[in-house]
Structure formats: C-alpha cells, structure tokens
Structure 1
Amino acid sequence: MVDLTLDRLLDLERQGWDALCRSTGGAHYGDLMTRVALMVLVDGSVLDRDAVVASLDGAPPWDSYELHDVRRVGLGEGAAALVYRARAVRGDEAPFVALMASTYVVVDGEPRLALYQQTTATHGS
C-alpha cells in the first residue's frame, strides 16, 4: 500500500515549495507530475507538465513560504488531495497568498501529482 497519509502528502508539498525556493521547480515537478497532469493557476492559465517545467526553469526563487490550514481529502483507493492556504514571499513583491489543492494518484507504486489548482485568497494574507 502506498503512503498517501497527511504527513506524506505534506512532505511532498514541502519538497515542491523547497524546490521553488532553490529555483529547481522545473526538474522537481517534471519528475513529480503524471504524464497528463495539469496545473490551474490564479492567473487563469492551465499548464500541462511540459509547460510547467518550462515556466519554472530559471524562475526567480521564493524567499520563504508558509502552509496553513492543511487538510487531506481521501479520493478512494490510490488517490488523495491536499488542500491548504499558502503564503510565499519573494524579494520586494507583495506576498503571494492563495488556496491550493494538490491531487495525488499512485502511479507505478509512487504518489504523483495529477492536478494542482490555485485560488486567490481574498482575506487572511
């Protein structure tokens, strides 16, 4: 049985954010995402795995991030979602605050990101 517990999913999310802080997000998400995975971003764009990798290669790193109100949603055998509020800071930019939902599925015995969605948080920044 593949571990899709709250702790495991939170660890996967933190690995992703840590990669974004190191500007290695393209490689990280290229490995983590399923072949047909999508990311739906706050700006309304929908990116497939190749577009995610291309957009993150060389992207400016985040300085720090915080994850709050983390919840796991079971989706049946071999699938679960992690829902949380994130706050990230980069340089002199205003903090990025959004609600996140990352859906993981088991592929070849490993958890893989199948769908990620950001929703702008209008309060609680």
Structure 2
Amino acid sequence: MDIAELLELEHRGWQSLCDGTGDVFYGRSMTEDGVMVLAGGQVFTRQDVVDSLGAAPPWRTYDITEERLVPLNESSAALVYRGRAYREGAEPAFTALMSSVYVRRGAGWALAVYQQTPVPA
C-alpha cells in the first residue's frame, strides 16, 4: 500500500471538481454503498454525490498538505490531509481536515467514505 497511489486518486478527484466532471469521477470511483460526510452536516450517498456535483460550480484551484496514510488492513486505508480549495471571485478559501477511506477493488481502489471537518479561520 503506497501513499502515492491513493494521493494520486485524491488529486484526480479534486481535479474533476475543478473541471466540472466530479459527478462522472465520483460516480465511477465510489463504492456502491459509499458516503460523503460533508462540512455542512450532510451525509450524501453515491447517487446524492453524483446528483449534486452535476450542478455544482467548479473549484478554481486546490491544494493538499499534511497528508498521511493510515493502513486499516491489507485491502483498505485512510488518507488524511488538510485541503484548501478556492472558487472564483473573492470568496474565502474552504479549508478542512479531510479523510478518504479507500478499499481495494480488483486491481484498483474505490472510495468508501469521505469526511470533511472545517478548520476555523
């Protein structure tokens, strides 16, 4: 299990949120029963994620720092990091501590749980 492999997946997810294809990316990369626990207090199923990202404004840019890998067993791991993302205009950055739990599916990985904890300004 390599942090670089899971970090690459996380970057691909964020890039899809920047180019407006997040609905397609997460529709393909989440497990059937996967969920996202979002900063606003919502828990979204995979279908909720697909539906909401289809209409969401894209992020302009993002960065990932303080990343670390927490192996759970030989076929699952959590990637924990500080994420910061910016939309267009003067809106302040969205900064949160984020966790993505991935499970091995064949030769690849699938996102089972994603969670955000906002970092106060």
- TM-score bin (small chain): over 0.9
Percent identity (aligned): 47
Structure 2 residue aligned with 1:44: 41
CA distance in 2, matches of 1:95, 1:109: 35
Structure 2 residue aligned with 1:30: 27
Unaligned runs of 5+ in 2: none
Root-mean-square deviation (CA, aligned residues, Å) is 0.9
Q: How does 1:81-100 map to 2 (within 5 A)?
A: 81-92=78-89, 93-100=91-98
Q: Where do 4+ consecutive residues of structure 1 move more than 6 Å?
A: none
Helix, strand or coil: the match of 2:41? coil
Structure 2 residue aligned with 1:113: 111
Query: What is the count of residue pairs matched by the alignment?
Result: 120
Unaligned runs of 5+ in 1: none
Helix, strand or coil: the match of 1:11? helix
TM-score (norm 2): 0.96
TM-score (norm 1): 0.93
Structure 1 residue aligned with 2:14: 17
